[in-house]
């Protein structure tokens, strides 16, 4: 019954919207309705300026074409001693893309107003990508994996598990969105506004944003982000304008004197990550994701906020009962029954020369691989992908990627073995240390010639509480301390569910604090130029980083399990906006500094030569290696995306 709550809600929302439309239409003639239409066409391009390909994609894997020594062993028998030595080479040509992004987008907007108190607002957004990229084409190199998203990259399709649990079988489980490999059409807004005095109700497809912080989402909890188009790398001064996931809902606002009351009930929709092997993919493609959104796609989020003056400050308080849109990941059984191929590990120095021939003979004698192993592996989070192109091929690769995604490679292996006992039938045993783990991993990679990992993405309800204080300073006119807007925002979430560092099915639940300090100020440096808009922001999170990853997974690499990060996560933003006279030219600069060694610098120039045309040129410089371990800061994750971005827009 609970799962029907959202469909009832959706029906009810539709009823409200329908009634709101029908009533005035019955009461008035069409000529009493004010219609207005306008639209925008925009070409977006992001030109790559480094040779770094996205390591999360098959064609950007740093192990492509690199000979890696594998030293397999049997920890149960020989501990960390090497028994089998060979060399693996990932036979995937690394791409050399010119563009990260090339999008043509069109947006149309329609507003129909029926008097002062009722309006219908609909936006339609269409995006087309000509796919000029050197794409991953697994069929052409013999790679075979399960999952629609693991094939040729699909840039806009969002797929989740079907009702029967079938992998990636359900496309776009969203109303008001239509997608294909190279296009998407959706309705960012389609709602009815009803107003009566201080009461305001918005019913329909909508986005909701809260809080004063820009980019740091301390109080901005209602909606997830749609990261399919340009990840989070659009103009910083646009924040998440093109990212917030719209959803059906009802929002009500009430102005009680100087206090603004705001609440919503909204269909839960998750953050959408880019698909495997697309330009901005952030989940290594060696993982196959079972998105279990279908289990919660009938759920609702609720939130309430009050803001108003309290003496010399403005106060806002909020609470939300929501599903965390980011979800959390865990190992899950692959249900892929592919036998281990008959690959004889190299056990004698004399064998390397004759090993391929021996393997061929063995495969001929026993076609279909090692009997019965497929059924066992299907009960583990592993999938045999023996082409050597899309799975993990070595312990080095395993630990390298574990560090990149801020997981603990050793414990992830042990948890896999512990929580999926079928793996022990194949001889897997928990490793005491990294060396033992390397032997075991290399052995299995030698035997399989490539294993993929299956993870499930689940969504958990949480209660989020927040508060914010806003204060405006008064100082000497024109001085640095005059008219500084200071905002302090807090978020507390008890028992938030995180992805465990070992990808355990038990997840990691812990309470998290989040704090941001925002200071904004206009300062005139020049008489001839408008004032410069300056922003300083500080973010502190007690448990996770900017992208919601637990800090315990920080600083792992190919040779080390993660050392973690103590003292919480901090990030700072410095941003400035300098309009030229008449605002035809605007220079922007935004710097996101992770003091643990990451830096994102985005200089931007915006040119508005006329009311119809707008040109934006900006550069994303990302450095994740300022100091310390590259995996010891959040921004190294995006290092591959250094680019020059150009947007040309025309509106009508």
Partner 1 sequence: MKLFRIRRYDRNYSRRAFLQSVMAGGAGAGVLMPLAHAISQDRELATVYPEELLSIDTYTQGRVSTGDEINADNVEHVKDLLEPAKYIQIREMGRRMRVVPTTTALERLMPIPYLEATLRNSGKARFDQGGNVVSEDGQPWIGGLPFPDAKDGLELFAGLTLSWGRHDVAQYAIKSYDLSAQGEVLYYYELLWVEMATVGRISLEPKPYLPAHIDKLRLQSVYFHAPNSVRGTNYLNIWPYDQNQFPELYGYLPQFKRVRQFPTSQRFEPLVPGSSLYLSDAWAAGDPLHTWGNYKVIWRGPMLAGVSGGWNHVHPNWEHETHGGPAGNTFWNTDVELVPEAIAVQAEPVAFPRAPVSRKVVWFDARTQLPLGMVSYDRRGDPYRTFDGAYALYETEGMSVPHGRNSYWSWGHVHAYDIQTRSMTRLEQVKTLGGGFSTAVDDPSVYDRFLTRSAMTRLGG
Enumerate residues 224-263 that contact partner 1 by CB under 8 A.
237-241, 244, 253-255, 257-258, 260, 262
Q: Which of residues 485-514 bind partner 1 (CB under 8 A)?
A: 485, 487
- Residues near partner 1 (CB under 8 A), total: 82
One residue of 66, 91, 106, 111 binding partner 1 per CB under 8 A: 111
Of 2 and 116, nearer to partner 1 (C-beta) is 116
Q: Which of residues 309-328 bind partner 1 (CB under 8 A)?
A: 314
Per DSSP, 145 falls in state -
One residue of 86, 129, 193, 458 binding partner 1 per CB under 8 A: 193
Q: Which of residues 569-598 bind partner 1 (CB under 8 A)?
A: 579, 581-584, 586
| Contacts by residues 251-259 (CB-CB < 8 Å, ≥ 24 positions apart) | 251/201, 251/202, 251/203, 251/206, 251/208, 252/199, 252/200, 252/201, 252/202, 253/199, 253/200, 253/201, 254/198, 254/199, 254/200, 255/198, 256/198, 256/308, 257/308, 258/308, 258/309, 259/306, 259/307, 259/308
**C-alpha 251: how far from chain center:** 26
Task: Give the CA count within 13 Å in the CB-facing half-sphere of 204.
Answer: 21
Q: How far is the CB of 241 from partner 1 (least distance, A)?
A: 4
> Using the rule CB under 8 A, is 345 a contact of partner 1?
no
Of 156 and 237, nearer to partner 1 (C-beta) is 237
Whether 589 contacts 576, CB under 8 Å: yes
> Using the rule CB under 8 A, is 195 a contact of partner 1?
yes
Q: How far is the CB of 107 from partner 1 (least distance, A)?
A: 8
Diameter of the chain measured on Cα atoms:
92
Q: Which of residues 2-61 bind partner 1 (CB under 8 A)?
A: 34-36, 38-40
Site string for partner 1, 593-632 (x = CB under 8 A): ---------------xxxxx-x------------------
One residue of 56, 64, 119, 497 binding partner 1 per CB under 8 A: 119
Of 148 and 531, nearer to partner 1 (C-beta) is 531
One residue of 10, 85, 113, 625 binding partner 1 per CB under 8 A: 113
Identify which of 620, 614, 615 has the alpha carbon closest to the alpha carbon of residue 589: 620
Q: How far is the CB of 318 from partner 1 (least distance, A)?
A: 12
Identify which of 102, 96, 104 has the alpha carbon closest to the alpha carbon of residue 131: 102
Site string for partner 1, 172-191 (x = CB under 8 A): -----------------x--
Whether 573 contacts 589, CB under 8 Å: no
Q: Which of residues 407-466 bind partner 1 (CB under 8 A)?
A: none
Chain length of the chain: 652
Let me know if 612 is exposed, middle or buried by CB neighbors in 10 A (0-12, 13-18, 19+): exposed
Q: Which of residues 203-222 bind partner 1 (CB under 8 A)?
A: 207-212, 214, 220
Per DSSP, 159 falls in state E
Q: Which of residues 525-554 bind partner 1 (CB under 8 A)?
A: 525-528, 530-531, 533
- Considering just the CA atoms, what is the radius of gyration of the chain in Å? 27
**C-alpha 195: how far from chain center:** 36
Let me know if 173 is exposed, middle or buried by CB neighbors in 10 A (0-12, 13-18, 19+): middle
Of 350 and 652, nearer to partner 1 (C-beta) is 652
Q: How far is the CB of 24 from partner 1 (least distance, A)?
A: 12
Of 137 and 260, nearer to partner 1 (C-beta) is 260
Q: State how far the Cα of 177 lies from the Cα of 187, in Å rounded to an integer.
A: 7
Q: How far is the CB of 225 from partner 1 (least distance, A)?
A: 12
């Amino acid at each position: 019954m609970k799962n029907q709550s959202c469909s009832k809600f959706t029906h009810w929302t539709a009823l409200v919207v329908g009634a709101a439309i029908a009533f005035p239409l019955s009461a008035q003639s069409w000529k009493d309705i004010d219609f207005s239409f306008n639209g925008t066409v925009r070409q977006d391009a992001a030109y790559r300026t480094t040779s770094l390909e996205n390591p999360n994609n098959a064609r950007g894997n740093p192990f492509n074409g690199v000979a890696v020594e594998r030293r397999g062993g049997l920890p149960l028998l020989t501990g960390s001693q090497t028994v089998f030595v060979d060399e693996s080479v990932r036979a995937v040509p690394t791409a050399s893309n010119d563009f990260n992004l090339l999008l043509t987008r069109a947006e149309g907007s329609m507003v129909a107003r029926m008097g002062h108190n009722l309006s219908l607002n609909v936006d339609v957004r269409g995006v087309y990508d000509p796919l000029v990229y050197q794409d991953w084409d697994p069929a052409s190199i013999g790679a075979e994996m399960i999952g629609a998203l693991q094939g040729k990259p699909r840039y806009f399709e969002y797929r989740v598990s079907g009702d029967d649990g079938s992998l990636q079988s359900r496309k776009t489980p969203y109303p008001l969105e239509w997608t294909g490999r190279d296009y998407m059409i959706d309705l960012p807004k389609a709602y009815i506004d009803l107003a009566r005095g201080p009461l305001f109700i918005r019913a329909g497809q909508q986005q909701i944003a809260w809080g004063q912080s820009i980019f740091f989402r301390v109080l901005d909890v209602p909606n997830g982000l749609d990261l399919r188009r340009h990840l989070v790398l659009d103009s910083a001064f646009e924040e998440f304008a093109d990212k917030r996931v719209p959803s059906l809902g009802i929002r009500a606002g009430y102005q009680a004197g100087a206090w603004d009351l705001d609440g919503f009930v909204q269909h839960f929709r998750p953050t959408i990550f880019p698909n495997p092997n697309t330009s901005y993919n952030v989940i290594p493609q060696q993982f196959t994701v079972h998105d279990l959104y279908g289990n919660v796609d009938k759920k609702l989020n609720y939130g309430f906020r009050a803001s108003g003056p309290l003496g010399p400050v403005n106060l806002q308080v909020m609470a939300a009962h929501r599903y965390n849109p980011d979800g959390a990941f865990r190992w899950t059984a692959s249900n892929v029954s592919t036998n281990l191929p008959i690959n004889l590990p190299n056990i004698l120095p004399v064998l390397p020369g004759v090993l391929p021939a021996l393997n061929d003979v063995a495969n001929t004698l026993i076609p279909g691989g090692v009997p019965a192993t497929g059924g066992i592996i299907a009960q583990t989070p592993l999938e045999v992908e023996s082409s050597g192109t899309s799975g993990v091929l070595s312990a080095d690769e395993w630990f390298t990627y574990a560090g990149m995604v801020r997981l603990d490679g050793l414990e992830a292996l042990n948890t896999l073995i512990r929580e999926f006992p079928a793996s022990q039938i194949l001889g897997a045993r928990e490793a005491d240390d990294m060396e033992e783990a390397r032997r075991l991993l290399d052995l299995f990679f030698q035997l399989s010639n490539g294993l993929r990992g299956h993870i499930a993405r689940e969504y958990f309800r949480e209660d989020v509480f927040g508060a914010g204080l806003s204060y405006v300073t008064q100082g000497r006119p024109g001085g640095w301390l005059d008219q500084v807007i200071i905002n302090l925002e807090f978020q507390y979430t008890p028992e938030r569910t995180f992805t465990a560092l070992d990808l355990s099915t038990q997840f990691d639940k812990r309470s998290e604090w989040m704090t941001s300090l925002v200071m904004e100020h206009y300062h005139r440096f020049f008489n001839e130029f408008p004032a410069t808009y300056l922003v300083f922001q500080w973010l502190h999170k007690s448990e996770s980083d900017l992208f919601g990853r637990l800090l315990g997974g920080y600083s792992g690499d190919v040779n080390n399990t993660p050392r973690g990060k103590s003292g919480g996560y901090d990030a700072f933003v410095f941003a400035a906006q300098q309009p030229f006279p008449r605002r035809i030219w605007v220079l922007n600069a935004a710097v996101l500094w992770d003091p643990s060694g990451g830096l994102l610098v985005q200089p931007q120039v915006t040119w508005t030569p006329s009311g119809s045309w707008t040109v934006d040129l900006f550069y994303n410089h990302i450095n994740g290696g300022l100091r310390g371990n590259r995996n010891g800061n959040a921004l190294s994750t995006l290092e591959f995306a250094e680019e020059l971005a150009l947007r040309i827009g025309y509106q009508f």
